[in-house]
Structure 1
Amino acid sequence: MANSQKQKRHCVVINWGLVAYQDAWLRQKSLVTERISNPDLEDILILSEHFPVYTLGTGASTDFLKFDYDESTSAKSDLKREVYRVERGGEVTYHCPGQLVGYPILNLRYYQQDLHWYLRQLEEVIIRTVATYGLNAERISGLTGVWLEGKKIAAIGIKVRRWITMHGFALNVCPDLTGFQDIVPCGIIDKPVGSLNEFIPNLTVAEVRVKLIRSFAEVFNVELENKVD
């Protein structure tokens, strides 16, 4: 049981829908700052999709970009692609519509103050969600994320400040995967990226979102409340 308290912790679920990555990033940082100032605030699970964008973790190498990118300039309007370096762990990844992105804003003091444990819990949420379709997703030892028949279907990258989490996971439901061709996803050269709709045609983000919310509640042992934002 993730949350060892007898009484389940309250967690609000907010669906941001299709939103620009930068807007979601700024709003996350604001929510985390509020909770650092007031650790008693409720936990939040934000779910969204993004317009096409590439993000690099704090220590990510630009060698994994297959296009020219001058990080010394902020003139992103000169790029054909939108790129951000953010404070999460991990290498480069790609977001686009059809990908279910989750940003849990949790106070780990109420769960376990262990980042490896937290990463494994996020993987478990994905694995249980996929299992509802009769598919056996899995972890790969030494790597972070979730794979299905050798294809990476979910990437995970987090940031934790004073035990308040931000960033999170991205599950490929029915995206256009061609954007991944311009990078080495997560810096992993020998493992392809895949999506759920390769195994289950006509799958939608809305359908998977409902199942993922249930899996999240089970894994983290929380009482969820849906909220319109």
Structure 2
Amino acid sequence: MIRSIRPSLNRCLLYNQGLMPYIDAHVWQRSLLAERIQDPSLDDVLILLEHPPVYTLGQGATPEFLKFDLDNSNFDVHRVERGGEVTYHCPGQLVGYPILNLQRYRKDLHWYLRQLEEVIIRVLAVYGLAGDRLTGFTGVWLENRKVAAIGIKVSRWITMHGFALNVCPDMTGFQHIVPCGIADKPVASLAEWIPGITCEEVRSHIVQSFADVFGVDLVDSTH
């Protein structure tokens, strides 16, 4: 029996990548965004990957949230065009970069942020964990500790940047910053609730959740 894809589903290309330097992923995102601004009919994209240790600052980020001297450190640091404050990426953290044309969904940035949170909340529910939203903040929380950060950039209703879920990273890198500029709420990883959890198993749950939340048909692709 041939499975028919409901015509209402948008196609979304899935790039399931491994470890990729932040700068390479950033250049790739900008390229995908520029192509879709030029030709809005191109398919949407979801990139899933991990990064080597790196700190990124949003376009309006406050340097005071860094606990090291930006000019005299060996850390890899990038200021980029997303919203939000400083965050940290490293292996064991799953990062998702959706390049979506919101004109196919809803032209509402608050709606889009809530949808990204919903993707993560549904992934946590697979493990019997109740992810929360906190009023006035963006991201997903477990027992008042932040497990997923979200920061986006939208140009002509096409998105870039996205979400980062702490699965099983070495959390010590977070000690050098005030994550997302929130001093009184600690960050955490899923491994603290589920010892032995891996990014590999969580990837499939993110893919399924993303497809369900956004109503897309994810098509495996290669880069």
Q: If the TM-score is normalised by the length of the shorter chain, which range does it land in?
A: over 0.9
What is the match of residue 198 of structure 1?
Answer: 192
What is the match of residue 16 of structure 2?
Answer: 15
TM-score, scaled relative to structure 2: 0.96
Kindly provide the amino acid, as one letter, of the partner of residue 212 in structure 2.
E
TM-score, scaled relative to structure 1: 0.94
Match of 2:15, SS state, is strand
How many equivalent residue pairs? 218
Q: How far apart in 2 are the matches of 1:108 and 1:79?
A: 39
Kindly provide the amino acid, as one letter, of the partner of residue 32 in structure 1.
L
How far has the Cα of 1:193 moved from its partner? 0.4
Match of 2:183, SS state, is coil
Q: Runs of 5+ in structure 1 lacking a partner?
A: 71-77
Q: How far apart in 1 are the matches of 2:7 and 2:218?
A: 16
User: Is structure 2 residue 129 aligned with structure 1 residue 135?
Assistant: yes
How far has the Cα of 1:228 moved from its partner? 2.2
RMSD value over aligned CA atoms? 1.0
Identity %: 65
Q: How far apart in 2 are the matches of 1:25 and 1:121?
A: 22
Q: Runs of 5+ in structure 2 lacking a partner?
A: 1-5
User: Is structure 2 residue 53 aligned with structure 1 residue 59?
Assistant: no
How far has the Cα of 1:6 moved from its partner? 6.4
Kindly provide the amino acid, as one letter, of the partner of residue 130 in structure 2.
N
Q: What's the CA shift string for 1:168-197, capped at 9, x where partnerless?
A: 000000000000000000000100000001
Q: What's the CA shift string for 1:22-44, capped at 9, x where partnerless?
A: 00000100000000000000000
Q: What's the CA shift string for 1:90-140, capped at 9, x where partnerless?
A: 000000000000000000000000000000000000000010001101100
Runs of 4+ in 1 over 2 A off after TM superposition: none
Q: How far apart in 2 are the matches of 1:17 and 1:116?
A: 30
What is the match of residue 148 of structure 1?
Answer: 142
Kindly provide the amino acid, as one letter, of the partner of residue 46 in structure 2.
L
What is the match of residue 37 of structure 1?
Answer: 38
What is the match of residue 75 of structure 1?
Answer: none
Q: What's the CA shift string for 1:138-181, capped at 9, x where partnerless?
A: 10011000000111000000000000000000000000000000
How far has the Cα of 1:79 moved from its partner? 2.9
Match of 2:148, SS state, is strand
Q: How far apart in 2 are the matches of 1:177 and 1:99?
A: 10
